[in-house]
Amino acid sequence: MMHTLSLWYKHGWIRAIDLSLAEQLQQLGEPESVAFMAALTSFQLGQGHPCLELAQLYHNPKTTLNLPPEHAQQESLQACDDPAQVFAAQPQLGHLEQCLTQLQQSAAVNTNNSPLVLVGSRLYLRRYYDYEQRIKNDLKQRMQTQPKVNTLQLQQVLDALFGATDRISWQRTACAMAMRSLFTIVTGGPGTGKTYTVVRLLATLQKLREQPQPLRIRLAAPTGKAAARMTESISTELENLRAIPAVADVLAEGLATEAVTLHRLLGTVANTRQFRHNAHNPLYTDVLIIDEASMVDIEMLAAVVAALPAQARLILLGDKDQLASVEAGAILGQLCEGAEHGHYAPQLAQWLNATAASQIPAEKIDNNGSQWPYLQHTTMFHESRRFDAEKGIGKLAFEVNQQRAEWLQQWLRDSKIMAQQYPEFDNIHALPCSRADAAVIKQLVMDGYAPLQQLISARPTEQTDEALNQWAKAVLTQLGAFQLLTAVREGDWGMHAFNQRVTYWLHADQSQQHGWFIGRPVMVTHNDYGLNLRNGDIGVVLQRGAGEPLRVAFLNPQGDVRWILPSRLTNIDTAYAMTIHKSQGSEFDHTVMVMPPADAPILTKELLYTGITRAKSHFTLIFSQPQLVLKAVQRRVIRNGGLTDA
């Protein structure tokens, strides 16, 4: 088995850290079977899973581990056994029961401070088990803490903020729900009114507070881009509140508007995983709101709850149906599992009906609601205020999210005719295409990036800092107008190949298409604390004047331009094309998504839904075979973890 791991590592199937964990355990005298399982558990972390689900592994080893990887070369497929072959050849690991027995007998599992923890058929590295426990215990405490609520006053404030209504208002419901305990989730697709509601929730909290001084409120998001968007949308919604006299007093005190990244909120400590704010030095806040919570990983949420005072409120906003964080976690997906069905306990529904004047529909009430503890603190919004669910992007996102093949099949076949016949479908296009370098893709990309190219070549003649900053800002804003998204990183249809291709298409006349060239959009791929750049930040290479060195312009969260010398940047990808994973938290006017011509476990309905919902006004899907798109829509992301275990 150690030989298999070495081969897998040699061929790039697993990471060095996975192999070295197994080697260390073996050196400590652990049997090969335990060392092998430890390596797989570590490998799963790299795939975004906080634990290894052994039952799943034995049911379907290849899919669970996603091995061989999608980019595996023929040579490596010949050299390496796949996971199913490995299990079949190992008498001590042949069945789940044998594997569990081996683990239970090991000193490396479930002993004091052992590196591995086995819970049922879930195998964890201890650090991740501890994160999960910390989150579970903390959320339980916050859910059990029930502040006193003046229900009459609450009703009056909700009437003033949302208007009285005799039909169900999930927005009112979310506000009332948040008053009941110290933990709340508001989930819903793009434009369903999460920000609209949360601003009103903040006003409600301030109105009903018991203390004389205003509550201290902090806003945060996992990435710089998401924090900047949150700041902007909260500020806009606050302006709309000014028309409501009932909350004039709390607005006069000033409500929080500036969102920061979670790293900045907690205060990173250079070269460590530690934060300045922790259980010994808690955050100075009464309410913490985290937007784009689907992108928060387990390690970060564990750090947040440790640093958040026990009496503070935690409010998570996000779209549970999107892809989870790239790091291990899938927190929001786990916590909100089943939210579309409500599962509200009858007592809670009664309270909500009485206080929020909601009429919780009977199908959302569940006599066994207590078995869904997090859902008693969750409100899901279904109706998009930005997209019509019957039209264009809204309709497509809805059909994909509901995994309905029938309509999609028709759209994949007839999108052109549908767009011609019905104006409501003229902003979504399905483009069959069998070659990644086809002329039709080239044309689409050239047209899409043409305004950006023009803007880049229109450097201001007046070379003052102000004029150059304004120019750079316009170029960076223009990057949000068009974006190519890929489902995979490697291969002919992957992010790297498309970046090379687009660079060649756009800059064929330039001698320099490699390295740093004017106009190259780039994405930061790892946090750089020294430069204060975050994973996912986008910049563009510009020249401030003839003969000047090239610099990369970035926008900081306050919206100011920063110019950085390329030589200082280490972890960078070209960003003409980016993976759907990396596009989370961003939106683009026209989004073009390309699907590879071979099936892979990574192609799921969550991936497609996330890609589609990045589009603000126009969406194009490029695919080679309709049945592969339909297959992807039928496949769901597996969300591993034990957050919802009793």
Ligand X SMILES: Nc1ncnc2c1ncn2[C@@H]1O[C@H](COP(=O)(O)OP(=O)(O)OP(=O)(O)O)[C@@H](O)[C@H]1O
Under rule CB under 6 A, residue 194 binds ligand X? yes
* Residue 193 assigned as binding residue: yes
CB of 233 to ligand X, least distance (A): 5
The conformation of residue 281, written as its DSSP 8-state character, comes to B
**Placement of tokens 């000014």 in the chain:** 242
Under rule CB under 6 A, residue 193 binds ligand X? yes
Judged by CB under 6 A, which of 140, 341, 386, 404 binds ligand X?
386
Task: Show the tokens assigned to 115.
Answer: 């590196």
Q: Amino acid identity, residue 624?
A: S
Under rule CB under 6 A, residue 195 binds ligand X? yes
Identify which range of 194-202, 407-415, 458-466, 561-569 contacts ligand X by CB under 6 A.
Answer: 194-202
Nearer to ligand X, 83 or 191 (CB): 191
* Residue 101 assigned as binding residue: no
Judged by CB under 6 A, which of 44, 66, 192, 499 binds ligand X?
192
Q: Amino acid identity, residue 409?
A: Q
Under rule CB under 6 A, residue 142 binds ligand X? no
Give dist(CA 644, CA 375) in Å, integer. 10
Q: Amino acid identity, residue 256?
A: A
* Residue 10 assigned as binding residue: no
| CA nearest to 565, candidates 553, 583, 580, 573 | 553
CA 44 to mean position of chain CA atoms: 18
* Residue 272 assigned as binding residue: no
Give dist(CA 623, CA 627) in Å, integer. 10
Nearer to ligand X, 105 or 240 (CB): 240
Nearer to ligand X, 173 or 195 (CB): 195
Under rule CB under 6 A, residue 191 binds ligand X? yes
Site track 204-233 with ligand X (rule: CB under 6 A), x = hit: -----------------------------x
- C-beta of residue 630 within 8 angstroms of C-beta of residue 413: no
* Residue 191 assigned as binding residue: yes
* Residue 585 assigned as binding residue: no
Helix (H) or strand (E) holding 631: helix 626-634
- C-beta of residue 178 within 8 angstroms of C-beta of residue 230: no
Give dist(CA 175, CA 291) in Å, integer. 16
Sequence-ordered list of residues with C-beta below 8 angstroms from that of 137, at least 6 positions apart, any chain? none
Task: Show the tokens assigned to 202.
Answer: 């903040």
Nearer to ligand X, 319 or 366 (CB): 319
# residues near ligand X by CB under 6 A: 12
CB of 318 to ligand X, least distance (A): 8
Local structure of 465: helix, strand or coil: helix
Judged by CB under 6 A, which of 26, 64, 171, 503 binds ligand X?
171
* Residue 48 assigned as binding residue: no
Give dist(CA 472, CA 541) in Å, integer. 9
* Residue 194 assigned as binding residue: yes
Judged by CB under 6 A, which of 216, 242, 385, 514 binds ligand X?
385
Give dist(CA 263, CA 269) in Å, integer. 10
Nearer to ligand X, 35 or 241 (CB): 241
Give dist(CA 132, CA 137) in Å, integer. 9
Nearer to ligand X, 219 or 553 (CB): 219
Nearer to ligand X, 287 or 475 (CB): 287
Give dist(CA 302, CA 125) in Å, integer. 15
Sign of the CA dihedral with 367 first, then 373, 377, and 379 last: negative
Under rule CB under 6 A, residue 616 binds ligand X? no
Site track 410-449 with ligand X (rule: CB under 6 A), x = hit: ----------------------------------------
Q: Which residues are annotated as part of the binding site for ATP?
A: 188-195
Residues near ligand X (CB under 6 A): 171, 188, 190-196, 233, 385-386
Q: Which residues are annotated as part of the binding site?
A: 188-195
